[in-house]
Structure 1
Amino acid sequence: MKLKGKLPFFIIAMLAWVVIISSCANMGMPAGGPRDSVPPVLLETSPEYRALNFDKDNIRFTFNEYLQTDKISEQLVISPPLEKRPLIKTKSKTLIIEFNEDLKDSVTYSIDFKNSIVDNNEQNPLKNLRFSFSTGPEYDSLRVAGRVINAFNLEPNEDGSLLVLHSNLHDSAVFRVRPDYIAKTDEEGLFMIDNIAEGTYNLFAINDMNNDLMYNEGAEEIAFLDTLVIPEAHFHAEADTMVSGVDSMLVLGHTHFSPEPFYMRFVMEDIFEQYVESTVRQSRNKCFFEFNESIADTFSVNLIDHDASDWQLFEYGQNKDSILMWITDTMVSRYDSLYMELCYTQLDSAGMPYVQNDTILMHYADPKVEEEKKSRRRGKEEEEEEEKPEPIPQFTWQTDIPSTMELNGLIRFVSPEPVQSFNTSMLKMYLTADTLKNALPINVQEDSTKYRSYSISYDWEPQTEYSFVIDSAACVNIFGISSKAFSKGFKTREEDYYGSLEFDFSNVTMPMVVQVLKNNDEEEVLRQKSFTEDGTVLFEYLAPEKYKVKVIYDANGNGKWDAGSFQDKVQPERVAYVQEVIKLRSNWSESHSWDLTPDPLFSKNIRDKEEEERKREEALEKQRKEEEEQRNNSMFRPGDTGSGAGGFQRR
């Protein structure tokens, strides 16, 4: 009886001892099992792969685990394309694609899932799953493959491009006819259209924004080939010489598909369709017109309700698709509302030019301003209003002269309104340290690409302070208003701050443009130079930064990249890049040899070696820490208790 009464205390003591021993031997946190990283496994299909005479209304794929179907409807590509989207559903571990229309007779269908098949738990993708079957007695197995990239920067389309293959060889087919076969590019721009029947085709890549499988000119990007596509397959037999001891030799081989992969470049084609995008009257004497196309010299404006002559002055934007109109006649500008007729060239449906006339109302109202009145009390006299005389109006120069001038920098300044007269002798520049203020020889140039803009270039001395002065009334605008006085002091950098970049070009067969770009996704052009023959091109006074470098194969010699034209069957001009990021250091010169033989693959794999080294070092450091943590944790495993209750082992 006494032992029976003490039994609960023995049980409690035993449990406490087990807890203490377990906690001493397992000081670390318990680790979970390994993360599932295996994609779904396809176990069975109905029908079988490459089945013939298929006549059902659905196909089934059975996997070893449950799936998520969210991405399938987005990425699934069925070729030839269907009129109606199929219904996608699951039943247990089986994926069902149910067709909502009758399939074409005696046609081989290809189904490309891309990377949309993922498991339900960890979303591990089953990559590049393809399936095919035939609704007739024959199975088509020809294919066309390649890569599609942007012609301007050689980058693939992030959202994927649509490849369309047409047996209708008319030029208008891509605009009006659904294609015979389709495919989509992956994240690298690669594509393959398979299960194609024998024939002759046109191949296009389009950025199908409205999902109609056709090219919408001027709204979507397009890439095209200069040749027809005739897919073929040839079996090349190879005897296995390793087989011996048998009467017949084993014959192996491989199938070679042609043509070779295509490398296509898409562009947004510039289609002329003129219209007014916006009009605004910014002030009483300034109106702004914006067009979607360049209007060249075909633009004019007529007043409808008023008679006036020589009442306007036009300033065209750099691309001639925007216009500033200055109203120079004060009798016209005083009207709040002006009805105007805009006249510009348009093209009719046959491509013939005609004059388009648009009537618009340009309205402007002065902002309400409360007049400030000042009064003074003199003795006991009544308060009187006293108005100060208005100052003589003058305009202020617009300028962004920096405090630190680059050694190849320019002084730039802009008049806010059109200039009537400008006395450039009233501009002075001198050394700040020169107490006698001896003027330095300068040459003022008017900028031909930007209205009312002027610049001064000078052979600056390193680490020197300069002063720049514009006297009052040096300039008078078309409204008779003179300029205010302006002065700015600045200093130049030391020469050792800069680096230089030199290229030795070979195999130059046409006009070329080489550009130094910012090392970012936008690739802003910092410098560029043109050349027409083998030799060296030097860029001096570059800041110590990272740069990309690009060349344009300027076939028409106009000094810029041109997108070509599908209408005129002109491919976009080629571009190429230095395949590494160039890092310049101060007081350093980089030299590179560059063979400009055109690259048929349009490669762009720009490596940043410094960034790669940084990531490699980070990975090594991460690995070192993980190994150190693993060694520390191994000292506290339950099985390594050693001689002490705490689980430490003597070494």
Structure 2
Amino acid sequence: MGGPPDEDPPIVLEMIPQDQSLNTKPKEIILTFNEYIKLDNANKNILITPRINKDEVIITALKNTLIIELNQELEDSTTYVFNFQKSIQDLSEGNPAENLKLVFSTGASIDSLKVSGSVNRYFPGRNDKIEDAIVGLYPIDDTTNVFIAPPYYLSQVDTAGNFNISNIKAGKYLAYAWQDDNNSLKAEYKSEAFDFIKDTITIDQNIAGLHFNLSKGDQNPINLLRSSTLGSNYTIVLNKTPNEVVLENEKMGSEIFYTLGDKRVNLYSQSVFADSIPINVNLKDSVGHEIDSLIWAKFEESDRKPEKLTISANSGKSFYQDLPIELTFNKPISNINFDSLYLSYDTASIINISPEMLSFKDSLRRDVLEINLLVPDSIPFEIFSVKAADSTFRDIEGQYNEVALSANYKKLKKETLTDEISGRIEGSEGPFIVQLLDSKGELKRESYLENSNQFSFRLIEAASYQIRVIEDTNMNHRWDPANFEERRYAERTFNFIDPETGNGNILVRGGWIVEDLVITTTPKTGIKSSEN
């Protein structure tokens, strides 16, 4: 009645069996507290090691008593740990019982070995929490793995990314870590970030400094589901969208072109052929799985009405002098009317766009058009618009754009720009992909360092930035996630962290020079050493 709030956690009065008990195989576990209790997501938050069948376990809170009905036979000569974390709370204020564990053995001794370490996450999402990650150990003779069944020993990762697994039996183990978003105690092939230690870990003494780097990548191999004629075109349907596409035929890039859609490759032909055309298809997914196949594509007359041609532009971009315009089409482009394509910067002034200013990002696709223009400072205007009237672009099926295009770009003044952000990378030999990101994590600039650890970004819009580095070990100019089947680690990523503030934000203003930034590498997956 109006007294001070209860800030004291519930206190255990009795445990059955008692903590550190030997030679016991309980059918149920009973904890009695000094006050009424409630449970917070007990199935997730109560960690039991080694592995038992949690589907058979019944957990009940009744007044001041917690009852765990095991409903299964425990293993012989095994140490069991029930880590209650913050699952048990007092009924009135929700104060959790802290550091509450019950340890007992079904044999004559308590296993006491420990494994501890840390977990990092490559490309974390805004809603990802490192404390949702789990580290697990599987005995070497276990036929399951992190994608099939829960681990034998496990630990939840704390908010600082650290973990500690205790009371481990001596032996040989495989170690995994994963972001357990669905609380299944196992990783999902497609949707959850994970990592693994390649080599068997022999635990015959305490191990500290075990490090994991979680990365997400769909581990299912890429498969060709079907291919068939679609109108006058030809479509290859896949189970996932490939990262790399190689199509080989003498007519590719001259008469036959392609576009890449969601889980499909669409082939277009300027000609009709009486016979099927053999095309060698080589596709590779993000984790390195590959298809190498031969298809026979048919391009024939069709009464099917072609899809309308659409255009989207990278409008809204800011620039200084070099104006990078990018137009994306839903189909390959066959012809451009340059009389109706130009850059406007006031009501009466234009810059004509000529063929030498244009290039297709991929000549086999012809669906992304890059227009490179140099706008000198002598033109005293801020807003520039690329204009294209209707019927400016004709696609491979003879369709013209029905809607006129107008996309705006903002020219920046040199005095408002940061002169330079520069620094070096320590702890790796590269090659490196160095990315300048804005405060929303969107890519603003990128450079590739093949034989250097020195980076520099010049003439940058004043704002707050972060710098991310990708260690491009296979030199394919993109980041590669882990491949579980090939036992290949993900390529490391690491960010600039200010040693004074502890965060990675770099605030710059017009005319500034920010130099001598030092970016240190993320530890490699495995047991930390001086080489990591």
TM bracket (short chain)? 0.7 to 0.9
2:437 maps to 1:517: yes
> Equivalent residue for 1:195?
167
User: Bigger shift: 471-480 or 404-413?
Assistant: 471-480
Separation (CA, whole Å) in 1 of partners of 2:226 and 2:414: 48
1:446 to 344, 349, 359: 359
> Equivalent residue for 1:266?
214
More strand, by proportion: 2
2:510 to 566, 587, 605: 587
Q: What is the CA-CA distance between 1:285 and the residue it aligns to?
A: 6.0
1:194-593 to 2 correspondences below 5 Å: 194-207=166-179, 217=189, 221-233=193-205, 258-269=206-217, 270-276=219-225, 290-291=237-238, 292-294=240-242, 296-297=245-246, 313-317=256-260, 321-326=263-268, 328=270, 399=313, 401-402=315-316, 406-414=320-328, 417-422=331-336, 443-449=356-362, 451-452=366-367, 453-461=369-377, 464-465=380-381, 476-479=394-397, 492-507=411-426, 509-520=429-440, 523-534=441-452, 536-579=454-497, 580-593=503-516
Q: What is the CA-CA distance between 1:425 and the residue it aligns to?
A: 8.2
Separation (CA, whole Å) in 2 of partners of 1:214 and 1:477: 48
User: Bigger shift: 173-182 or 501-510?
Assistant: 173-182
- 3-state SS of paired residue (1:504): strand
After superposition, the Cα gap between the structure-2 partners of 1:592 and 1:127, relative to the gap in structure 1 and judged at 3 Å, is: farther
Q: What is the CA-CA distance between 1:407 and the residue it aligns to?
A: 4.0
Separation (CA, whole Å) in 1 of partners of 2:46 and 2:524: 28
2:83 to 108, 112, 115: 112
After superposition, the Cα gap between the structure-2 partners of 1:481 and 1:197, relative to the gap in structure 1 and judged at 3 Å, is: closer
After superposition, the Cα gap between the structure-2 partners of 1:278 and 1:409, relative to the gap in structure 1 and judged at 3 Å, is: farther
> Equivalent residue for 2:500?
none
Whether the 8 Å CA contact 1:543–1:584 is kept in 2: the answer is no
Size of the alignment, in residue pairs? 497
Q: What is the CA-CA distance between 1:280 and the residue it aligns to?
A: 11
1:88 to 54, 59, 62: 59
After superposition, the Cα gap between the structure-2 partners of 1:559 and 1:330, relative to the gap in structure 1 and judged at 3 Å, is: closer
Q: What is the CA-CA distance between 1:184 and the residue it aligns to?
A: 2.9
Q: What is the CA-CA distance between 1:467 and the residue it aligns to?
A: 7.3
- 3-state SS of paired residue (2:172): coil
Separation (CA, whole Å) in 2 of partners of 1:279 and 1:75: 50
Q: Could you tell me the TM-score, scaled by structure 2's length? A: 0.76
Whether the 8 Å CA contact 2:419–2:460 is kept in 1: the answer is yes
Separation (CA, whole Å) in 2 of partners of 1:480 and 1:356: 26
After superposition, the Cα gap between the structure-2 partners of 1:427 and 1:180, relative to the gap in structure 1 and judged at 3 Å, is: closer
- In structure 2, the gaps of 5 or more residues are 285-289, 498-502, 526-532
Q: What is the CA-CA distance between 1:550 and the residue it aligns to?
A: 0.9
2:36 maps to 1:44: no
Q: What is the CA-CA distance between 1:443 and the residue it aligns to?
A: 4.0
Q: What is the CA-CA distance between 1:500 and the residue it aligns to?
A: 4.2
After superposition, the Cα gap between the structure-2 partners of 1:441 and 1:498, relative to the gap in structure 1 and judged at 3 Å, is: farther
What amino acid does structure 2 have at the position aligned with 1:274? N
What amino acid does structure 1 have at the position aligned with 2:258? E
Separation (CA, whole Å) in 1 of partners of 2:56 and 2:101: 18
Q: What is the CA-CA distance between 1:489 and the residue it aligns to?
A: 8.3
**Deviation digits for residues 370-408 of structure 1 (CA, Å, limit 9, x no counterpart):** xxxxxxxxxxxxxxxxxxxxxxxx988654555976544
> Equivalent residue for 1:132?
103
**Deviation digits for residues 450-507 of structure 1 (CA, Å, limit 9, x no counterpart):** 7332312314327623676668977654455667987888763322232244222154
- 3-state SS of paired residue (1:200): strand
What amino acid does structure 2 have at the position aligned with 1:130? K
What amino acid does structure 2 have at the position aligned with 1:264? F
More helix, by proportion: 1
**Deviation digits for residues 422-473 of structure 1 (CA, Å, limit 9, x no counterpart):** 46588555875998x8969994131324733231231432762367666897
- 3-state SS of paired residue (1:261): strand
Q: What is the CA-CA distance between 1:202 and the residue it aligns to?
A: 1.6
2:140 maps to 1:168: yes
What amino acid does structure 2 have at the position aligned with 1:166? Y
Whether the 8 Å CA contact 1:446–1:454 is kept in 2: the answer is yes
What amino acid does structure 2 have at the position aligned with 1:548? Q
> Equivalent residue for 2:42?
72
After superposition, the Cα gap between the structure-2 partners of 1:126 and 1:396, relative to the gap in structure 1 and judged at 3 Å, is: closer
- 3-state SS of paired residue (1:73): helix
Q: What is the CA-CA distance between 1:210 and the residue it aligns to?
A: 7.7
Whether the 8 Å CA contact 1:145–1:262 is kept in 2: the answer is yes
What amino acid does structure 2 have at the position aligned with 1:537? F
What amino acid does structure 2 have at the position aligned with 1:412? E
Q: What is the CA-CA distance between 1:273 and the residue it aligns to?
A: 3.4
After superposition, the Cα gap between the structure-2 partners of 1:535 and 1:98, relative to the gap in structure 1 and judged at 3 Å, is: closer
Separation (CA, whole Å) in 1 of partners of 2:248 and 2:514: 49
Q: What is the CA-CA distance between 1:601 and the residue it aligns to?
A: 8.1
What amino acid does structure 2 have at the position aligned with 1:194? S
The two structures, once aligned, show a CA RMSD in angstroms of 4.7
What amino acid does structure 2 have at the position aligned with 1:464? P
- 3-state SS of paired residue (1:125): coil
Q: What is the CA-CA distance between 1:596 and the residue it aligns to?
A: 4.7
> Equivalent residue for 2:529?
none
What amino acid does structure 1 have at the position aligned with 2:266? L
Q: What is the CA-CA distance between 1:190 and the residue it aligns to?
A: 2.8
Q: What is the CA-CA distance between 1:82 and the residue it aligns to?
A: 1.2
Separation (CA, whole Å) in 2 of partners of 1:346 and 1:406: 38
Whether the 8 Å CA contact 1:463–1:494 is kept in 2: the answer is no
Q: What is the CA-CA distance between 1:262 and the residue it aligns to?
A: 1.0
**Deviation digits for residues 129-156 of structure 1 (CA, Å, limit 9, x no counterpart):** 2220111111111111222332344997
Separation (CA, whole Å) in 2 of partners of 1:220 and 1:415: 33
* Larger Cα-atom Rg: 1
- 3-state SS of paired residue (1:96): strand
After superposition, the Cα gap between the structure-2 partners of 1:414 and 1:539, relative to the gap in structure 1 and judged at 3 Å, is: same
- 3-state SS of paired residue (1:52): coil
After superposition, the Cα gap between the structure-2 partners of 1:278 and 1:126, relative to the gap in structure 1 and judged at 3 Å, is: farther
Separation (CA, whole Å) in 1 of partners of 2:64 and 2:94: 15
Q: What is the CA-CA distance between 1:365 and the residue it aligns to?
A: 7.3
Q: What is the CA-CA distance between 1:66 and the residue it aligns to?
A: 0.7
What amino acid does structure 2 have at the position aligned with 1:224? F
What amino acid does structure 1 have at the position aligned with 2:371? S
- In structure 1, the gaps of 5 or more residues are 1-30, 234-257, 301-309, 333-339, 368-393, 603-651
After superposition, the Cα gap between the structure-2 partners of 1:259 and 1:58, relative to the gap in structure 1 and judged at 3 Å, is: same
